[in-house]
């Protein structure tokens, strides 16, 4: 028989942020195989435990592998021209009305083959991995035909096979109205409900279903139909809601038990109460707020007071958030929205995992999955404080060292 003894890694004198809080003492951490085996205060550490362990060094900060719970990483084309137009004062809504915005990415994504989309997405995902991500959600939503949405989700699944990262996929068929359905948005929603959702459910290609509930996208009534179709196929739901106006999409999504409502700059008290009652996660996306030069702040203090968990994600996409750096989002969540550094970090670990319906990821405790980042910093807050690539000393994915400097 081959040697099946699982590998053991040991860190000494390390500050641990466990997904929700920073542990009060300097710790020793041991992983065994794909799990965290022991987590002990340094002053109680017995050197006998070190036997058989690979010495991974001393000092620094350990966090769970980062969870980026909202991205649109698979797409064709570029929207640099639109960036320039927006700088000249053309609004995001106006660009969409002119047939640009999401639809320009739809054209380029439809034209690209599955293999081309995979190659385009790889470096984007590698950038997230290099910044500490071990779990990433990837949405469709730039295909808008059954075939092209399926193609995008296949690319997302293949990314998870090609790179050392857990990929969670989301069908976002109701992202924008495709040109073929220009005057028939209900007809397009019929297609999403009757063909798209069943097709991706049949092939096991989506872990959840998302919608864009907005004046420039789909109404609350239309989004609710998509949720009913998702429910009929046993798929959890989430929503882009209250990003540009307050339509009540979040409250409706919460009534359907949404995992999360995302953006939510315009969310009101009723929406916050609905999220609290449903246990939905508020996904805060400072990259889109920053890129769109939004001025309406998400209701952070009210969410905090209501005890609604807040996640933080990149929303990495070619239009509203061409920002592929999760740790920058920690910084922006603090500087733009006044999250505390601990809240921001919890938002990209434990609460990010909750926004994906994952109970095990994004946390460090004995028995946890050994998705871990070790950073060359003194305190967890420093991760949000400075925007400084290169501080990731080690990254483990399911107990395997995938990055070391
Ligand atoms: O999350 N809000 C809608 N969807 C994306 C934008 C996608 C795009 O502009 O291509 C978002 O911001
Ligand atoms: Fe988004």
Q: Which of 1-15, 224-238, 340-354 has the lowest mean pLDDT?
A: 1-15
- Asked if 216 contacts 93 with a C-beta cutoff of 8 angstroms, the reply is yes
**What's the mean pLDDT in 364-392?**
98
Q: Tokens in use for 161?
A: 């096979």
Q: How far is the CA of 260 from the centre of ligand 2 (A)?
A: 12
- Asked if 96 contacts 103 with a C-beta cutoff of 8 angstroms, the reply is yes
Going by pLDDT thresholds of 50, 70 and 90, the confidence category of residue 3 is low
Nearest atom, ligand 1, residue 292 CA: 12
- CA distances, 369 to each of 61, 65, 158, 213 (Å): 18, 10, 22, 35
pLDDT of 1: 46
* pLDDT over 90 percentage in the chain: 94
Nearest atom, ligand 1, residue 214 CA: 2
Ligand 1: residues within 6 Å at CB?
72, 101-102, 105, 212, 240, 243, 288, 315, 317-321
Q: How far is it, in rounded angstroms, from Cα 30 to Cα 18?
A: 14
Hey, which of 317, 322, 323 would you mutate to test ligand 1's pocket, going by the most ligand atoms within 8 Å of its Cβ? 317
Going by pLDDT thresholds of 50, 70 and 90, the confidence category of residue 178 is very high
pTM above 0.95, yes or no: yes
Q: Which residues of 360-389 are buried (b: 16+ CB within 10 A; e: fewer)?
A: ebbbbeeebbbbbbbbebeebbbbbeeeee
Q: How far is the CA of 252 from the centre of ligand 1 (A)?
A: 20
pLDDT of 159: 98
Nearest atom, ligand 1, residue 263 CA: 1
How do beta strands 35-41 and 27-32 pair?
antiparallel
Q: Tokens in use for 304?
A: 């905090």
- CA distances, 291 to each of 8, 76, 321, 323, 353 (Å): 43, 20, 6, 9, 25
Q: How far is it, in rounded angstroms, from Cα 111 to Cα 16?
A: 46
List pLDDT tens digits, range 275-294.
Answer: 999 999 999 999 999 999 99
Hey, which of 173, 288, 318 would you mutate to test ligand 1's pocket, going by the most ligand atoms within 8 Å of its Cβ? 288
Going by pLDDT thresholds of 50, 70 and 90, the confidence category of residue 99 is confident
- CA distances, 284 to each of 30, 289, 310, 392 (Å): 33, 9, 7, 24
Hey, which of 177, 261, 316, 320 would you mutate to test ligand 1's pocket, going by the most ligand atoms within 8 Å of its Cβ? 320
Q: Which residue has the tokens 């005890």?
A: 307
List pLDDT tens digits, range 306-359.
Answer: 999 999 999 999 999 999 999 999 999 999 999 999 999 999 999 999 999 999
Q: How far is the CA of 9 from the centre of ligand 1 (A)?
A: 40
- Kindly list the protein residues that place their beta carbon closer than 5 angstroms to ligand 2, a single-atom ion: 315
Q: Measuring CA to CA, which residue among 320, 282, 276 is closest to residue 299?
A: 282
Q: Tokens in use for 388?
A: 């400084």
Going by pLDDT thresholds of 50, 70 and 90, the confidence category of residue 92 is confident
Nearest atom, ligand 1, residue 102 CA: 10
**What's the mean pLDDT in 154-180?**
98
């Amino acid at each position: 028989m081959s040697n099946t003894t699982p590998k053991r890694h040991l860190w000494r004198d390390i500050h641990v942020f466990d997904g929700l809080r920073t542990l009060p003492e300097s710790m020793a951490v041991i992983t065994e195989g794909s799990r965290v085996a022991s987590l002990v205060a340094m002053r109680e550490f017995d050197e006998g435990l070190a036997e058989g362990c690979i010495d991974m060094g001393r000092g620094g900060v350990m966090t769970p592998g980062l969870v980026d719970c909202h991205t649109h990483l698979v797409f064709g084309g570029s929207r640099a021209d639109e960036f320039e137009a927006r700088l000249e004062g053309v609004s995001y809504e106006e660009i969409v009305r002119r047939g640009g915005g999401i639809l320009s990415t739809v054209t380029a994504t439809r034209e690209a083959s599955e293999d081309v989309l995979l190659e385009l997405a790889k470096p984007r995902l590698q950038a997230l991995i290099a910044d500490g991500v071990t779990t990433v959600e990837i949405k469709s939503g730039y295909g808008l035909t059954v075939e092209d949405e399926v193609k995008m989700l296949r690319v997302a699944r293949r990314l998870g096979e090609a790179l050392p990262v857990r990929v969670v996929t989301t069908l976002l068929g109701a992202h924008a109205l495709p040109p073929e359905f220009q005057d028939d948005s209900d007809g397009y929603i019929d297609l999403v409900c009757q063909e798209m959702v069943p097709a991706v459910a049949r092939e096991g290609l989506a872990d959840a279903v998302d919608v864009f509930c907005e004046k420039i996208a789909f109404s609350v009534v239309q989004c609710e139909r998509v949720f009913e179709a998702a429910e009929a196929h046993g798929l959890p739901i989430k929503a882009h809601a209250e990003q540009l106006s307050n339509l009540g999409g979040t409250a409706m999504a919460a009534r359907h038990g949404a995992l999360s409502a995302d953006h939510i700059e315009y969310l009101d008290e009723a929406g916050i109460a609905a999220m609290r009652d449903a246990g939905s996660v508020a996904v805060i996306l400072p990259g889109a707020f920053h890129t769109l030069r939004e001025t309406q702040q998400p209701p952070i203090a009210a969410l905090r007071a209501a005890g609604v968990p807040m996640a933080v994600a990149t929303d990495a996409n070619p239009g509203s958030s061409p920002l592929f750096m999760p740790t920058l989002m920690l910084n922006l969540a603090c500087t733009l929205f006044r999250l505390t550094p601990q809240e921001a970090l919890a938002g990209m670990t434990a609460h990010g995992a909750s926004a994906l319906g994952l109970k095990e990821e994004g946390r460090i405790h004995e028995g946890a999955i050994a998705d871990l980042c070790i950073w060359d910093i003194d305190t967890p807050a420093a991760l949000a404080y400075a925007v400084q690539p290169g501080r990731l000393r080690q990254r483990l994915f399911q107990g395997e060292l995938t990055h070391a400097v």
